[in-house]
Amino acid sequence: MLLSKVLGVIVLARNGDRYNYYQDPFTYAGSETETTALGEVESNRLGSFIRSTYLDSKSPSYIEGIRSDLVDNNEVKVRVKAGVEGTVVFDSAIALLQGLFPPNPNNKIVLANETTVVAPLGGYQYVPVETVEPGNDRSLESWTNCPTFEKHIKDFYASDDFKTKSKEAAPFFAAVKDFVFGRPATLQNAWNIYDYINSELTHNKTYAYRLPPTFIEQARHWANYHETGVFSSEDITDIANVAGRTMLHTILSSLERIAFNGDPLQFMLVETTYQPFISLLTQTGVTKEKPELSGIPNYASALAIELRRGSPPDVRDFLRFKIKNGTSGNFEDINVFGHHADIPLTEFVYRAENAAITTNKQWMQVCGVKPSVEILGFKARPDNFLVYLVGCLALTGFLVSVGQFIRRRRAEKRRLRLQGQENMYVPVPTMVQDQKIRIV
């Protein structure tokens, strides 16, 4: 579809460089980490590259009709993962947007007194960002606190293939122990080993001088094997693809908005971590033709999904997928679901919608999470709801009794007591015939 025109684009971007980050190999609960100046530069460059690709009217991939000088917030939507690695992902999104919509002196306003005020920093453009927290929305982080996914991880570790690979990897992990300083040097911990080595190699000159040749390549090889096994499956509906399945809902709903003529949305940015890349590229069949794309994408990688309108006589809407692995190079066309060209939008929706996880309720069902009821700050599951209810009623009764006792004690302290016998004569008024009152 070389003559098609771009109606809109969805871009999935990975965060930029950061300091070492630990993930539990069984639950993927994460530690704290911080972005680096290098990471911000990487994301900023990615933003500039996306701008030159889709917002430059001279580019063959220019989004038709989009405003590129000053951002129109009706045409642009940004969602940012705010779970593990959250601050890093947010910083990366802001840096990317600075490259996508750089400061423009035309970002100004003329006041009633004819004074012209330019936005700070030479016309800085403020693009609204929607942070997506897993406590409210599971679409951008679906793999944590998911019992079914954790069972999948344990099954992967118990598989014959993983045991075979562990024996094969044993010499490397034995040799690398002196360079990971007490961290478990096992295939189960392969991602953490690679991330530590990669971070130190980038930021620590002394470490870089000492690390033997090929160690970073070997560490990445085993981390790629590990993460591909954890986060992907050729079965599009498998729990291993949970990161991609929740992302599919964001993709499909955004495509629906872009394709609808009455909706102004034309550019969607989803800033996230590496996990959805692995799932999406596998479950859509991309890695079958391009196995080099399996595994962990580099920092500031991007996956672009272009919605294009075909030329006569076929004026249907098509999708073109492109990937950019890291900060170097340009977008590379990739094909999904076995197509060797752009895929019709209707076919992509048909093949993907059954795998998409569209709501938190559906995510809970897929993950085997039982719904909970909030009671006095505690979460109770339906199977023990009665126990919680009885306990709460007992606690309420106890608090009421204590309150009554305290009120009685306070009333007794306020009562006035006089010395001697408390005998008081109180005269009683009586009525007489003349309607006057006299005291008897």
CA distances to 90, 223, 421 from 141, in Å: 14, 20, 78
Q: Which amino acid is at 327?
A: T
Give 62: exposed, middle or buried? Use CB within 10 Å, 0-12, 13-18, 19+.
middle
Find out whether 303 and 323 touch, Cβ atoms under 8 Å: yes
Residues 22 and 105 in one domain: yes
Residue 368 lies in a domain: no
| Angstrom distance (rounded) from CA 255 to CA 305 | 9
Calculate mean pLDDT across residues 322-346. Answer: 94
The closest of 220, 157, 213 to 192, measured between CA atoms, is: 220
Sign, CA dihedral 356-13-296-22, equals negative
Calculate mean pLDDT across residues 144-158. Answer: 98
Residue 278 lies in a domain: yes
Task: Check residue 393 and give its pLDDT.
Answer: 64
At which of 363, 395, 424 does a domain end?
363
Residue 158 lies in a domain: no
Residues 341 and 256 in one domain: yes
pLDDT score of 285 more than 80: yes
Which CATH number do you get for residue 139? 3.40.50.1240
At which of 341, 363, 385 does a domain end?
363
Residue 169 lies in a domain: no
Residues 15 and 83 in one domain: yes
Residue 80 lies in a domain: yes
Residues 114 and 261 in one domain: yes
Confidence at 399, pLDDT banded by 50, 70, 90: low
Residues 307 and 332 in one domain: yes
Domain tally for the chain? 2
At which of 314, 339, 363 does a domain end?
363
Residues 46 and 124 in one domain: yes
Q: Among 95-104, 151-160, 377-386, where is mean pLDDT lowest?
A: 377-386
DSSP 359-375: SHHHHHHHHTPPP-EEE
Task: Check residue 3 and give its pLDDT.
Answer: 61
Residues 333 and 399 in one domain: no
Nearest 5°: CA angle at 129, between 246 and 144? Answer: 35
Residues 138 and 65 in one domain: yes
Residue 329 lies in a domain: yes
Residue 156 lies in a domain: no
Query: Which helix H or strand E contains 340, and what residues bound it?
Result: none
Find out whether 90 and 129 touch, Cβ atoms under 8 Å: yes
pLDDT score of 426 more than 60: no
| Angstrom distance (rounded) from CA 318 to CA 271 | 24
Residues 143 and 292 in one domain: yes
Provide the residue count of the chain. 440
Task: Check residue 86 and give its pLDDT.
Answer: 79
Residues 293 and 335 in one domain: yes
Task: Check residue 398 and give its pLDDT.
Answer: 65
Task: Check residue 315 and give its pLDDT.
Answer: 84
Residues 396 and 346 in one domain: no
User: Which residue did the predictor score with more confidence, 315 or 157?
Assistant: 157
- State the residue range of the domain holding 15: 5-148+241-363
Residue 342 lies in a domain: yes
Confidence at 432, pLDDT banded by 50, 70, 90: very low
pLDDT score of 433 more than 80: no
Mean pLDDT of the chain: 89
CA distances to 92, 172, 186, 215 from 168, in Å: 37, 9, 11, 15
Write the pLDDT tens digit of every residue in 357-396: 999 999 999 999 987 644 444 455 555 545 455 555 666 6
Write the pLDDT tens digit of every residue in 176-222: 999 999 999 999 999 999 999 999 999 999 999 999 999 999 999 99
* pLDDT over 70, % of the chain: 84
Residues 55 and 129 in one domain: yes
pLDDT score of 249 more than 70: yes
